[in-house]
A = this chain, B = another copy of it.
């Protein structure tokens, strides 16, 4: 087990009518906020009206900035930074999914950064005292509601990079499972793939003596696997929506990284895909993760056998444990497929003509991943396996 520091200051307010706490939470930080969201979905479910009503009742001034798209764009972030500076705004309320929250974090960091906000993604500058943000989550997926990271897409060159800082964790996040009832099936399962990927990226480590965190991750995965079909078949099943929503936060709040080194290669390999083809991040992960697993499992067959046995309840084949390891990977792929996710690039009509370009961009800062260090050729091969 490695040395570690764990600290997560985000306050989670979870359950039916959790929005009722919104006013008192915001007022701890500011009386004038940026209300940041995507498109029409929060209006369709009535959340937009409820939030505006609360802000008015609590005499909290707000300026709206909508239009966040999946894989949030740098141009809108720059617009947000401008507004916050001009209007002297000192708090951002993100209402939406991971893209809205990530966009808010990037704005929050940019407001107090004197240079170009993209520098923070390039590692040329440091996040310093960003303005605080709070969230009302509507899509269980990215885990951004209590994470320290934001992923940003720069339209110039379609580069997708992240900015990280403990100070970027939201001050509070309001999680009301009812706000997820109307999520379309595809968006629901794409979110679930993202949650599972966050767990698996942490699970597959070469660090030994990480039994407790192994078991916590396995428990979380089993719960997601149980509830995924339930939310798909009955989108208004409060309890299953609640399990998935809470699982998504816990998966990515960094408790499960304690004492271990997470991998993150699959995320990086996927980022190239979603930056170039603008596909949902979770869909890309459903394609990339099994391909990554097939490429790397020989580097720790027992870990993959443990995954197969403990998560998928596959009876270990002690005469050939490699078969058990491979069965676990197949089971994951079948699970994704069965629940409507793409599992090959072909499923999304993505050809092989840009594999080399993506592999090069993905490894432009050096090898990716920790379970196994992957160079440009490795990444190229993984795209090939994902065809």
> Contacts A216-B219, A223-B211 given: A258-B14 contact, CB under 8 Å?
yes
Whole-angstrom distance between the Cβ of A112 and the nearest chain B Cβ: 20
**Is A50's beta carbon under 8 Å from chain B?**
no
Asked if A226 and B242 sit within 8 Å, CB to CB, the answer is no
> Contacts A3-B15, A15-B3, A242-B1 given: A227-B255 contact, CB under 8 Å?
no
**Is A218's beta carbon under 8 Å from chain B?**
yes
Across the interface, which residues of B come within 8 angstroms of A16, CB to CB?
Answer: 3
When C-beta atoms are compared, the residue in chain B nearest to A223 turns out to be B212
Asked if B9 and A239 sit within 8 Å, CB to CB, the answer is no
When C-beta atoms are compared, the residue in chain B nearest to A11 turns out to be B7
When C-beta atoms are compared, the residue in chain B nearest to A237 turns out to be B209
Asked if A11 and B15 sit within 8 Å, CB to CB, the answer is no
When C-beta atoms are compared, the residue in chain B nearest to A5 turns out to be B13
Asked if A227 and B242 sit within 8 Å, CB to CB, the answer is no
Across the interface, which residues of B come within 8 angstroms of A208, CB to CB?
Answer: 239
> Contacts A212-B250, A216-B219, A255-B250 given: A11-B3 contact, CB under 8 Å?
no
When chains A and B are docked, how far (Å) is the Cα of A216 from the Cα of B215? 8
When chains A and B are docked, how far (Å) is the Cα of A239 from the Cα of B223? 28
Whole-angstrom distance between the Cβ of A222 and the nearest chain B Cβ: 6
Asked if A215 and B223 sit within 8 Å, CB to CB, the answer is yes
Asked if A243 and B7 sit within 8 Å, CB to CB, the answer is no
When C-beta atoms are compared, the residue in chain B nearest to A251 turns out to be B212
Asked if A243 and B3 sit within 8 Å, CB to CB, the answer is no
Asked if B259 and A246 sit within 8 Å, CB to CB, the answer is yes
Across the interface, which residues of B come within 8 angstroms of A215, CB to CB?
Answer: 219-220, 222-223
Whole-angstrom distance between the Cβ of A113 and the nearest chain B Cβ: 24
**Is A358's beta carbon under 8 Å from chain B?**
no
Binding site for B on A (CB under 8 A): 1-18, 208-209, 211-212, 215-216, 218-220, 222-223, 226-227, 239-240, 242-243, 246-247, 250, 255, 258-259
Residue pairs across A and B with Cβ atoms less than 8 A apart, 25 shown, are: A1-B243, A3-B14, A3-B17, A3-B18, A4-B12, A5-B12, A5-B14, A6-B11, A7-B9, A9-B9, A14-B259, A208-B239, A209-B239, A209-B240, A209-B242, A211-B223, A212-B219, A212-B220, A212-B223, A215-B223, A216-B250, A218-B219, A242-B259, A246-B258, A255-B255
Shortest 9 CB-CB distances between A and B: which pairs?
A: A3-B15, A215-B219, A209-B239, A7-B11, A212-B223, A219-B219, A6-B12, A1-B242, A211-B223
